[in-house]
Amino acid sequence: MDPNPEVLAELRDGFAVLTMNRPEKRNALTASLLESLTAQLERLQREGDARCVVLRGAGDDAFSVGMDLTAMAEQTPEENQRLIGEGGPLRRATAAIEDHPFPVIAMVKGFGIGAACELAVSCDLRVGCGQTRMGMPPAKLGILYPPEGMERFVMTLGFPATRKLFYSARYFDGPELFAMDVLDFMCGDELEGFTFELARDLAANAPLSMIGEKRTLRAIADAGGLKLDAGRRHIVNDLVLHAMRSDDAREGIAAFLEKRRPDFKGQ
């Protein structure tokens, strides 16, 4: 077992916490860290014990400051393009987040910069605080960000917020990010407590409903935010019927009528 894993995994009350673990480098991203993150998400999906995932950075300074520029400076332009471009470790990590069946929450404490900002944007929800700082600085580094990443920003945040992030290349604070809809939730000093309580609430929901909602929203996003075509609509309607027929649907309705907390089994 690796004594110093780059991604720590912990199972809590129905949800998992994945921690990017390079605090001495402010959790700068490397190919190996991104591959470890992908592997942990795939493991959680296989084992099925967590109904929500929180992604965070170790320490108090940063969610992550983005790609490790010291390592990138030692590589060729072609190697760096493969690192963050189509088919590379960054793309596989963002795909693993988006493809995970349950919601993934980014807990952004301190800096979430560059590729780490994209990691957060690929999550289903983002939580920050007054100390949160996020931005996309490629223009200040002489770099053009890959189109796959920019597409994700536009699809998730829209053109106005994407333009502000990329054109300005500046770091925005928590209130600014919340106003731009980059952050879904802003809280005070209790960022961890707030985020974990949110994860607990999501994990307590009916698993089939959560899986179906994420798959439906992903299908709508893949359709460019437009109406689903007949093929996608058929798949989503199958998910609706599957949930309607489930034991959890009967349990949820019964619990509501009996004024008690439902006990969902994912069946």
- Tell me, yes or no, whether 265 lies in a domain: no
Cβ neighbours for 12, distance < 8 A, ≥ 6 positions apart = 196, 199, 200
Q: Is 266 domain-assigned?
A: no
Mean pLDDT in residue range 27-35: 96
> Is the confidence at residue 105, as pLDDT, over 80?
yes
Query: Based on the structure, what is the number of domains in the chain?
Result: 2
Establish if 151 belongs to a structural domain. yes
Is residue 229 in some structural domain?
yes
- State residue 220's pLDDT score: 85
- Tell me, yes or no, whether 194 and 249 share the same domain: no
- Do residues 72 and 180 share a domain? yes
pLDDT in tens, 50-75: 999 999 999 989 999 999 998 888 98
Same domain, 189 and 73: yes
Residues 49 and 156 occupy one common structural domain: yes
Task: Note whether residue 1 is domain-resident.
Answer: no
For residue 192, the domain's CATH number is 3.90.226.10
CA dist., res. 267 & res. 265, Å (int): 5
The answer to whether residue 262 is domain-embedded is: no
pLDDT at 80: 86
Structure letter (DSSP) for residue 112? E
Together in a domain, 152 and 244: no
For residues 247 and 196, membership in a common domain is answered with no
pLDDT in tens, 75-103: 888 988 888 888 899 999 999 999 999 99
Given a cut of 70, whether residue 141 has pLDDT beyond it is: yes
Residue 111 lies in a domain: yes
- 229, 251: one domain: yes
User: Do 132 and 247 have their domain in common?
Assistant: no
Query: Which of 202, 221, 237 is the last residue before a domain boundary?
Result: 202
Residue 263 lies in a domain: no
- Residue 234's domain comprises 206-257
Q: Token pair for residue 146? A: 């890959």
Same domain, 211 and 181: no
Give residue 33's identity as a one-letter amino acid code. Answer: L
Q: Is the dihedral of CA 249, 256, 52, 227 positive or negative?
A: positive
CA of 225: how far to CAs of 148, 151, 152, 154, 242, in Å?
17, 13, 13, 11, 24
Q: Examine the domain organization and report whether 122 and 216 are in the same domain.
A: no
Residue with tokens 């920003």, as numbered in its chain: 153
